Amino acid sequence: MTTETLPKQENAESALGGHVKGYFERVRGGELGALPAVFGLVILCVVFSVLRPAFLSAVNFANLFTQGAAVAVIAMGLIFVLLLGEIDLSAGFASGVCAAVLAVLLTLQGWPWYLAVLAAMVTGAIIGLVLGSLVAKLGIPSFVVTLAAFLAFQGVVLLLVKDGTNISIRDETILAIANKNVPPAAGWAALIVGVAVYAAIQFVQARRRVARGLVATPVAVIAARVVTLAVVAGVAVYVLNLERSRNAALVSLKGVPIVVPLIVILLIVWTFVLRRTAYGRHIYAVGGNAEAARRAGINVDRIRISAFVICSFMASLGGIIAASRANSVDPNTGGSNVLLFAVGAAVIGGTSLFGGKGRALDALLGGAVVAVIENGMGLMGYSAGVKFVVTGLVLLLAAGVDALSRKRAASTGRR
Amino acid sequence: MSQGPILELRGINKSFGPVQVLHDVAFSVYPGEVTALVGDNGAGKSTLVKCIGGIHPIDSGEYLFEGERVHVSGPRDAAVLGVEIVYQDLALCDNLDIVQNMFLGRERKSGLVLDEDTMEEMAAKTLAGLSVRTVKSLRQHVSSLSGGQRQTVAIAKAVLWNSKVVILDEPTAALGVAQTAQVLELVRRLADRGLAVVLISHNMNDVFAVSDRIAALYLGRMAAEVKTSEVTHAQIVELITSGRSGELGLKNGNGAAS
Ligand SMILES: Nc1ncnc2c1ncn2[C@@H]1O[C@H](COP(=O)(O)OP(=O)(O)OP(=O)(O)O)[C@@H](O)[C@H]1O
Ligand SMILES: [Mg+2]
């Protein structure tokens, strides 16, 4: 066990072996990471495509993205709150409030789309500021604060859309988000640039570490990552670029839905924030051991409040996407299953409900699982009731895996 | 030897609600010396240290650093002065790795981005400087370390910065014989480097092995601050258990400050 502290440069082969071995050790120690989500996703996709070949159609594939987009975006924001070991039960209806603000300003007040979007986003940020302050400064448990907000926001949506009516969205730009597509050529170009930049960053980082005599990710592992990304994203772009229109002569329908690049940008931004900035590091620290963070001079209250701001802000984006997809906002926007799906997405993706563990990517992985269940069961003709029950069970399963892996981590001395 | 104290506390009072934990405490720490802070369980050692570190605000009293009155109202203030504390309950984040813990709250950045490589190098150098050889990888989570390894990381975190005062709250309590010896050797080396070191310990052998001075707390009062060379084991034990020993200690066995 006793090896040098200053890591020596090993030859490439043993470095690779060490990397792989380290990975399996971590998995056995309870750090499952993305494994359950990826595993579940593959199984679900296989089952559904066997039972309902329509599941694999290009139309349905595109549907999956636009269906899951709002939930995934809300989940991405929720992860910040979950990382602190807190919860935001109001994120769903916060997205509803923001969507209602958008609709009122856009359709009833005739504001230009960019101002209405800005107002919706500011509304989200303010909601987060209030929730976060109540939690951090007054010390009310986030569960209670956001449960109260859950009820209150439901009322606010009702008030904004005037009891039960719905406000339709007619602005072309907003409608385009979930209903229009990126030109196929642009999709390919973005894919190629994206993969190239990812590969370049990884290689440059590894080379710099080698040059400084630090342990770097082996080239083979980087190559595997790059190839995986290229294949997965490449297949997605390829399928989304297929003609989806039933009558292509009349109207052509192909390309990556505009909402997809938007989500990818959000993913990159928040991944950068969490992994590469001091702020992100401090979020993990507060989630792992708030007292230690405090003693390290971190302003714990400010971190808490900011996490709620990010969460509600992302909820506002989710609301905008939902409004775009539904072409309207009604009292149920952001309601019913949205919050549970978002929490489920985060947890299924591998974010811990106990705080301190999670990534922005989890929202997409888990969001994909949730969207596939919802979509696949819809294709099989199950009622909403069955879908809720199954999704609830999947959430429970994910939370169980989380709790068990935590226990396992404790028993193997990893916590 | 005529050098003044680098850190000096005078008349410190500290209460938690109705319970007064520190009464009119005076405490001095000298550069290049190891000052042992001793006292029974609950005497107030950790509380005193947390007051020095800015974790607990003091109710009243003077805090002097290098002869100047200073106001320490948070951990950052203490860090700016060059006071580093290794807490009894360690205060490491289990979900972060060794490097991340060592730089927590003071991350190296280039622009907006964390400079992981520089941090890793500095961490490696510091650990090597402390002759730590038992850590497999600097990138392993602290949760996977043994008690002694965690202690080492916490100490390394404290000496990573060009600190002037390092305070260790029972650093050897959970350690085996060999690791205890290593930590004590480390404590001595830090003092020889010119740092002021405060060592809290219940082990009289350790205290006499490395300290230059001993300060004994008794029920929240400073019973005595003495040179180690001028007292015996027995005297210190008496100071700890009854607050006085012959001429030394509190005049009235049970309380009022001398
Ligand atoms: N945060 C707190 N709130 C209330 N009382 C406290 C707090 N921290 C410490 N105390 C009390 O202050 C007294 C001194 O505690 P402290 O931890 O300083 O003792 P200590 O000398 O470090 O003991 P030990 O040797 O067991 O570590 C104890 O009676 C304890 O109950
Ligand atoms: Mg103590």
Q: ipTM score of the complex?
A: 0.85
Q: Which residue in B92, B143, B163 has the most chain A C-beta atoms within 10 A of its own C-beta, making it the best mutation to test that interface?
A: B143
pTM: 0.88
Phi–psi pair at A10, nearest 5 degrees: -95, 165
Flag whether A347 is in a domain.
yes
Nearest CA to ligand 1 atom 22: B46
List strand residue ranges (DSSP E) for A228-361, in order: 328-329
Indicate whether A263 and A252 sit together in one domain. Answer: no
- A6-51 pLDDT, tens per residue? 444 444 456 677 777 777 777 666 666 778 888 889 999 999 999 9
| Domain termination residue (choose one: A238, A256, A274) | A256
Q: Which ligand is nearest to the CA of B21?
A: 1
Note the helical H segments in chain B: 45-52, 75-81, 98-102, 116-129, 147-159, 177-192, 204-210, 233-242
Same domain, yes or no: A310 and A399 = yes
Report CA torsion sign: A338, A342, A343, A348: positive
pLDDT value for A8: 42
Range of the domain at A360: 33-180+257-411
Higher pLDDT, A98 or A402: A98
DSSP A413: T
pLDDT classification of A251: cutoffs 50, 70, 90: confident
Phi and psi torsions of A381, nearest 5°: 85, 20
Q: How many whole angstroms from B161 Cα to the centroid of ligand 2?
A: 24
* Residue A90 belongs to domain with CATH number: 1.10.3470
CA–CA separation, B55 and A291 (whole Å): 10
Q: Can you read off the two tokens belonging to residue A53?
A: 């070949």
Kindly state whether residues A244 and A274 are assigned to the same domain.
Answer: no
B39 lines ligand 1 (CB under 6 A): yes
- Give me the pLDDT at residue B152, please: 83
Interface of A with B (CB under 8 A): 1-7, 22, 29, 208-209, 212, 214-215, 276-278, 281-282, 284-285, 287-289, 291-298, 356-357, 409, 413-415
Largest CA distance in chain A: 71
**Dist. CA A373 → ligand 2 center (Å):** 53
d(CA A241, CA A255): 4
Residue A411 pLDDT? 65
Residue B218's beta-bridge partner residues?
B221
Write the burial class of residue B2 (CB in 10 Å: 0-12 exposed, 13-18 middle, 19+ buried): exposed
Closest Cβ–Cβ partner in B120, B135, B143 for A409 = B143
Residue B21 near ligand 1, beta carbon < 6 Å: yes
At A149 the pLDDT is 95
Contact A335, A92 (CB under 8 A): yes
Report the distance separating Cα A27 and Cα A222, nearest Å.
19
A18 occurs within a structural domain:
no
Q: Are residues A272 and A237 in the same domain?
A: no
Q: How far is A375 from chain B (nearest CA, A)?
A: 36
Looking at residue A173, what is its pLDDT? Answer: 92
Domains held by chain A: number: 2
| A156 and A282 fall within a common domain | yes
Please report the pLDDT score of residue A30 as a whole number: 64
Last residue of a domain, one of A205, A235, A256: A256
A251-277 b/e (C-beta count within 10 Å ≥ 16 → b): eebbbbbbbbebbeebbeebeebbebb
CA angle B77, B84, B100 (to 5 degrees): 95
Q: Among partner residues B76, B96, B117, which is closest to A284 by beta-carbon distance?
A: B96
Is residue B249 within 6 Å of ligand 1 at its C-beta? no
Q: A141 with A223, same domain?
A: no
C-alpha pair distances (Å), A103 with each of A91, A117, A126, A159, A164: 18, 9, 18, 13, 14
Tell me, yes or no, whether A78 lies in a domain.
Answer: yes
- Please state the atom number of ligand 1 nearest to the C-alpha of residue B217: 21
Assess whether A278 and A365 both reside in one domain: yes
> Chains A, B: CB contacts under 8 A, how many?
107
Cβ atoms of A372 and A390 within 8 Å: the answer is no
Mutation pick from A2, A5, A271, A406 vs chain B, by most beta carbons of B within 10 Å, is A5
Query: What pLDDT does residue A20 have?
Result: 76
Residue B201 Cβ < 6 Å to ligand 1: no
Domain boundary among A256, A286, A308: A256
- Are A228 and A318 contained in the same domain? no
Cα distance between residue A34 and residue A348, in whole Å = 9
For residues A50 and A32, what is the distance between their CA atoms, to the nearest angstrom? 28
Q: Which domains does chain B have, with CATH numbers?
A: 7-91+164-249 (3.40.50.300)
CB-CB neighbors (< 8 A) of A281 in chain B = 96, 100, 104, 107, 114
Q: Is B101 in the pocket of ligand 1 (CB under 6 A)?
A: no
Residue B224 pairs in a beta bridge with B216
The parts of chain B modelled with pLDDT lower than 50 are 1-2, 253, 255-258
| Same domain, residue pair A157 and A44 | yes
Q: Is the CB of B44 under 6 A from ligand 1?
A: yes
A159 CA: distance to closest CA in chain B (Å) = 43
On whether the CB atoms of residues B8 and B27 are closer than 8 A, the answer is yes
Phi, psi of A327 (to 5 degrees): 60, 10
Chain A interface disruption, residue of B144, B146, B160, B182, most A CBs within 10 A:
B144
Q: What is the band of A1 on the pLDDT scale with cuts at 50, 70, 90?
A: very low
Pick from A2, A215, A278: CB nearest B114:
A278
Residues A279 and A338 placed together within one structural domain of the fold:
yes
Q: Is the same domain home to A236 and A91?
A: no
Please give the helix or strand (H or E) that residue B142 lies within, else none: none
